[in-house]
Structure 1
Amino acid sequence: MAERFNRTDFQAWARRAHSTGGCAQPVHLRGRVTHLDPQTGEVLHHYSTAREPGGMLRVACKTRRASRCPSCAETYRADTYQLVRAGLVGGKGVPDTVTTHPAAFVTLTAPSFGPVHSRRTGAGGGVVSCHPRRNGGNCPHGRAVSCTVRHSDGDPRLGQPICPDCFDYSGAVLWNAHAPELWRRFTLAFRRYVARSTGLRVADLREVLTVSFAKVAEYQRRGLVHFHAVIRLDGPGGPDAPPPAWATHELLKAAVDHAAGAVRVSTPAAGDVPALTHEWGSQVDVRPITTTGELTDNAVAGYIAKYATKAAECVGTLDRRIRPTDDPADLPVSGHARRLIAECLRLGAIEEYARLRLTEWAHMLGFRGHFSTKSRHYSTTLGRLRADRIEHNQRQHAEISTGRLPFDDDQVLVIAHWRYLGQGMTPGEALLTAALTGKPLPPLDPSASPTSPQGSTS
């Protein structure tokens, strides 16, 4: 840290740290960009990383994971918040009349694969015993089936199986792997129910009604994903048109309840795993979204955006892929996560499950879907929000060195050559960046250093 601070290019390095927003794992690039007049060949502008500290350009990693880079994850969270909120109150290209369209906050959960320690509250809001059993007793493995502990919110036992040997790890991993397909079939069943309820064919439904949604996946502490979604009923073509009069909150709720109970995904028997049928859990929550009251548009947008930056950290697993050289027994994970990871690796070696890519997604406990998705007509896109931010930043900075050019980029020939050098910072650089930008600092590994040059070009 002292070495970096005392270098002659520290001020330039500090400006670059600010320009990346305090990114904790910036990408290192080396290269050049030349802007030419296509008619005369005149060089209008030339940029080279030779003028940058260390001879390389650092750009933000733009990850969504708060565990890797809190700064970039916060930008992703804010963008997701704006995206979800625009679909509820308007803005970002969505008319404000969308507030009159029926919309609900829907939660779809996973079924049980065995009892786990949980924090339960009673009717008065107080914490009650975890799993009290009147007759007590033991499971077939000799462990007590009852737990009378009133767990605190930070209790590390939360989400852990009461008996790990009774917990169905194969079923849990395969359910995670098929959760995206369950969601896809849910959306199809939802539309079929609405069409049937109104006497229409599914193919004709889009002529009078559009079903729009935005969803996010959240991990429960037991290692299973569940989905939170905003589902909205629009007229034909999206939010610009009002939905028909028969498109009500009651119809929306009935369609969710039907679709959640109707869809199934089957997997064949393979090895010592029997044939399984995967379905949603019995806990399905459907609540209307309003501009006032307990479940407002701001609350829903904030809730979904919060989980868009998280992965499976609450389960105690890794935020990186499992390497071929990794021994599951040596991974810094919880015991429950270790068994889920080991089951992913075991099932991933079975030919019948090869298409699920369980080995590649073992760190995500089998789930390989996108964490946040939306339908085409729900609202704006993350790409549009990012493009607007770039345009705004270019308007704010007048100097060429910050990216604004004295000519229209569309009227010039751009020749660029970039080479990837690595990613990340030393712990000292990370501490300095956090101090300079006031951004949160991720957990530091004293032995960490930026990744070595790879030499890739584009």
Structure 2
Amino acid sequence: MPSPHAAAEIISRLNDPHYARWASQIRRTGGCRQPIHLRGHVEHIDPATGALLHRYSTRTEPDGVLRVPCKTRRASRCPACAEIYRADTYQLIRAGLVGGKGVPETVTAHPCLFVTLTAPSFGTVHARREKNGTVLPCHPRRDAATCPHGRVMSCTARHGADEMCLGEPLCPDCYDYAGSVLFNALAPELWRRFTEALRRRLAKLAGLTLRELREQAVVSFAKVAEYQRRGVVHFHAVIRLDGPDRPASPPPAWASAEALADAVRHAASAVAVTSPAAGEEPARVLRWGTQLDIRPITLDGELTDQAVAGYIAKYATKAAECVGTLDRRVSPLDDLDALPLREHARRLIAECLRLGGLEEMADLRLIPWAHMLGFRGHFSTKSRRYSTTLGALREARADHMRAGAVSTGRLPLFEEDTVLVISEWEYAGKGYSAGDAILAAALTGSRLLDSGGGYE
């Protein structure tokens, strides 16, 4: 049952003469949990005559504001907006595999691999292990050693898929929390060095210099970061070989899937990044983990273009929630013991705050990204010409919506590129009041009440 205050807000909104317009705004946000409130106006002027062709102002809107979707990528914050981001990412990834969205269909003949780069071990953690559909014991050890903290380093339990202990170390006091957060912080740099080493290896295999390689073959990629339950990121990447006029031209005959796989294996094992030394904290040489997965992408085989695009798009909307951390920034002044955190996540965040307070670690920005356990990179990235862009997909959607507005008479018909557009907007808040949240959920069929937020 809504509170008396919320019930009063619902009654007031339903009796508002502008309710129909308010409901229309809410529906157009697509079920956004935390729509942005804008106040302002936009004018379309004929530059030749100075005549005002069309004017829109929020003064006539309910509450004097325009509500627009927040457009976050995080499903934990807004499932509706994250779903749009997921769908766009799916189209972007798949276009680079089968063509479309400005990419020629001949790209399907280019060598292409699905690569997973993992993090190294920072200590033994509880895991769910399976073989041929049978769940195996976690970490059975017949003659298990006892760690310096008195814990036997063995676990014979057959863990369920949703058990809270998954990813938790067998001995938290033995676990290398500093190494874990430093790996997350330096993972983007490790990826950059990996791509450079990949190109160097391909050039060496072909007997070319790097400049000569660019004239014959180009490496294109799209990747996404995924958190493992132990709190470290690993990367899933689509890596493709193109000709110099990427992606329209095919690569030369020597640039095969086998050569690309060889280069991936070499680059993954060759690159490293060194963390800064700070006080008693020594410098660490961080590398990729030993688990490296390289699989070809096919149109009708075990790993299809649709499966890969769906997999990457799914993780593009996630963050570190599987580790049990927060979906907001943490301040050094916060009482970590009072926050709803898993103990493992609490220790990782505490380590970010500790290391981030060291002057030598300032460039890693561990404190602002403590809630992300040190990782501050973009979750999904791509090389420039892998395929289309998210911006192009959003522009196409905006053009479609504009055409719909013209066809229904909400906008006059004129050429956008021949009209002077003058606009002025200011931020006026976000989210819903308690009563509006209930009405909006009913209008859109969404779970707005789970947002945990409110009106600002």
Question: TM class by shorter-chain length?
Answer: over 0.9
- Residue 428 (structure 2) pairs with residue 421 (structure 1): yes
CA RMSD in angstroms, aligned pairs only: 1.5
C-alpha distance in structure 2 between counterparts of 1:276 and 1:130, whole Å: 29
Amino acid at match of 1:299: A
Aligned match of 1:406 in 406, 410, 413? 413
The answer for the alignment partner of 2:93 in structure 1 is 84
Residue of structure 2 aligned with 1:34, choices 43, 60, 70:
43
Pairing 1:193-208 to 2, within 5 Å after superposition: 193-208=201-216
- What residue number does 1:133 align with? 141
1:390-434 Cα deviation digits (max 9, x unpaired): 1111122336885x3322232232222211111112344333323
Aligned partner of 2:102 in structure 1 is 93
In structure 1, the partner of 2:360 is 352
Sequence identity percentage: 64
Tell me, yes or no, if structure 1 residue 233 matches structure 2 residue 241. Answer: yes
| SS across alignment from 2:426 | strand
Residues 70 and 244 (structure 1 numbering): CA distance in 2 closer, same or farther, change over 3 Å?
A: same
Q: Could you tell me which amino acid in structure 2 is paired with residue 423 of structure 1?
A: K
Alignment of 1:51-450 (within 5 A): 51-122=60-131, 124-323=132-331, 325-398=333-406, 402=410, 404-441=411-448, 443-445=450-452, 448-450=453-455
Measured in 2, the distance between the counterparts of 1:351 and 1:199 equals 45
Distance 1:220 1:442, change over 3 A: farther
**Aligned-residue offset at 1:450:** 1.4
CA distance in 1, matches of 2:301, 2:349: 42
User: CA offset at residue 203 of structure 1?
Assistant: 1.5
- Mark the runs of 5 or more structure 1 residues left unpaired by the alignment: 452-458
- Separation in 2, partners of 1:401, 1:326: 53
Q: Would you say the 8 A contact 2:77–2:451 is kept in 1?
A: no
Q: Letter of the aligned partner of 1:17 in structure 2?
A: I
Specify the code of the residue in structure 2 equivalent to 1:28: H
How far residue 143 of structure 1 moved from its aligned partner, in angstroms, is 1.7
Task: For residue 223 of structure 2, give the secondary structure of its aligned residue in structure 1.
Answer: strand
SS of residue paired to 2:306 = helix
Say whether 1:8 aligns with 2:13.
no
Once residues 427 and 298 of structure 1 are traced to their aligned partners in structure 2, the CA distance between those partners, rounded to angstroms, is 40
CA contact under 8 A between 2:217 and 2:244: conserved in structure 1? Answer: yes
Contact 1:117–1:157 under 8 Å retained in 2: yes
Residues 119, 151 of structure 1: 8 Å contact kept? yes
Q: CA deviation at 1:441?
A: 4.0
Question: Unaligned regions of 5+ residues in structure 2, if any?
Answer: 1-5
- Matched residues in 1 for 2:167 and 2:332: separation? 28
Further displaced range: 367-376 or 45-54: 45-54
Q: Deviations over 1:127-165 (max 9, x none)?
A: 111111111342111122111111101101111111111
Equivalent AA in structure 2 for residue 369 of structure 1: G
Return the letter of the residue paired with 1:127: V
Question: Could you tell me how far apart the structure 2 residues matched to 1:21 and 1:307 are?
Answer: 21
Specify the alignment match of 2:29 in structure 1: 20
Q: Summarize deviations over 1:148-184 as a string: whole Å, max 9, x none.
A: 1111011011111111111001111101000000000
> Any conservation in 2 of the 1:217–1:308 contact (CA below 8 Å)?
yes
Aligned 8 A contact 1:71 1:440 in 2 = no
- How far apart in 1 are the matches of 2:376 and 2:414? 44
Give, in whole Å, the separation in 2 of the partners of 1:95 and 1:412: 33
Comparing 317-326 with 84-93, greater Cα deviation is found at: 317-326
Greater shift in the superposed pair: 435-444 or 342-351: 435-444
Deviation at 1:324, TM superposition (A): 5.1
Q: How many residues align?
A: 447
For 1:230, give the aligned amino acid: V
Contact 2:325 2:346 in 1 (8 A): yes
Q: Which moved more, 1:374-383 or 1:410-419?
A: 410-419
Are the counterparts in 2 of residues 216 and 304 from structure 1 also a CA contact under 8 Å? yes
Are the equivalent residues in 2 in contact too, given 1:237–1:377 (CA < 8 A)? no
SS at 2:406 equivalent: coil
TM-score normalised by the chain length of structure 2: 0.95
Q: Secondary structure at the match of 1:32?
A: strand
